[in-house]
Structure 1
């Protein structure tokens, strides 16, 4: 009995130590995130995003390192987005009149348009970076589809958060989800066809004599096929953008505000989940 008590005490002590270490890791992660945010802000202030030119035309600012440029701009976009969402949340909680709430909702919608514009510019410089999602948290990357969220899944997440809905609204959202799913399936099939086409191109001539001209010819054909990746990303982002816009048109101002809050909260929780996962005890 004494031995069991001693074992229990020792197990409890180790458990407390593990919890203490876990809390410390979380705090260290929080500090690192804060430091990273400060470094990003300093980098933006120093003009790291300006790779060439001084006109302010961002289509000319992604030359040197498009991936880094986009990462910095996305971090800024995320900060601004959180501020806009906080404004919407405060307006909803304080029962701000619809005409004033509408302005805040439209500001968030315009801000989403800005993100799609930044992605389009960055894709011209480094489409692989955009498709890989390295600018997002690990949990967000896990559920990515062609460089972003699935519109159909987003509509499912909104689910019961928009009630009560009229019959006409329910039908509109149902049709929107169906059309989004069909468009996603078509794009996914196109990506699969591209992958198979690349496999066929790159695997051709393995048994040849190693002729340099043939090899370079294969690479040129493969490069030509890779240029369609940017179009796939553009079409996927266009679908995401149009889904948000159509949803906005279907809903009332207050429902649209709630939808934007639900979407933002979901994405925030995915990022928080990533931080917790990375900070978890490894033993």
Structure 2
């Protein structure tokens, strides 16, 4: 990949990160400002649309050269250490929900003991917890399948090196796209389980 392509990818990534910060601020203000469920749903859909747009840009760039996505120079060492097929593990969304549920319960313990309902993550219903558990199991199965495909790619390298590398790159780009689709579908399903204020 040419240096200008790496710069372009780094710019796309940085734009997306900046957009995420802005949208997180907007979502936080909306929740604390008493936005309606419909207003929150609109904001969430806009955030998801931006995620899809970012995935499409990544996919186009990965078809040119996929290798930078597996050790991106635009990420910190810590970020690179937790990468899974060019991004975060979809199951990490679910682990984050579980962690936030615990924090919400701790921070609002006195209110919970008084019987107050706030509508946040600390108030997941039993049905929601069961759905999140099911989503986690399904997501981990899909992660394992994609990880196995990634591991199998290295054993298929043989013959004409240039042709093998091209084939390998195309296959890696396809796996990256599948991983992005799994990230998106897991996130969409998780958002569907949660109420708008929880999401």
- Aligned match for 1:118, one of 57, 63, 66: 57
CA contact (8 A) 2:63 2:170 kept: no
Indicate the residue corresponding to 1:189 in structure 2. Answer: 148
Query: SS at the partner of 2:75?
Result: coil
Shift of 1:65: 3.5
Greater gyration radius: 1
Among residues 237, 240, 243, which one is paired with 2:186 in the alignment? 243
Change (3 A) 1:219 1:248: same
**Counterparts in 2 of 1:76-95, with a 5 A limit?**
76-95=15-34
Aligned position for 1:104? 43
CA distance in 1, matches of 2:43, 2:169: 40
Q: CA separation in 2, counterparts of 1:179 and 1:233?
A: 19
Shift of 1:122: 1.2
Establish whether residue 177 from structure 1 lines up as the match of residue 119 from structure 2: no
Q: Which runs of 4+ in 1 moved over 6 A?
A: none
Does residue 71 of structure 1 match 2:30? no
* TM-score, scaled relative to structure 2: 0.82
CA contact (8 A) 1:151 1:239 kept: yes
Q: Show structure 1 runs of 5+ residues with no match.
A: 1-61, 203-216, 257-283
Q: CA RMSD in A?
A: 2.0
Partners of 1:221 and 1:101 in 2: how far apart?
48
Aligned residues: 179
In 2, the alpha carbon distance for the partners of 1:232 and 1:81 equals 25
Structure 2, unmatched stretches of 5+, are 101-120
- The whole-number CA distance in structure 1 between the counterparts of 2:161 and 2:16 is 40
TM-score where L is the length of structure 1: 0.59
Deviations 1:225-274 (A, max 9, x none): 33211111011111001111111111110111xxxxxxxxxxxxxxxxxx
Counterpart of 1:153 in structure 2 is 92
Post-superposition shift, 1:195?
A: 1.2
User: CA shift at 1:184, angstroms?
Assistant: 0.7
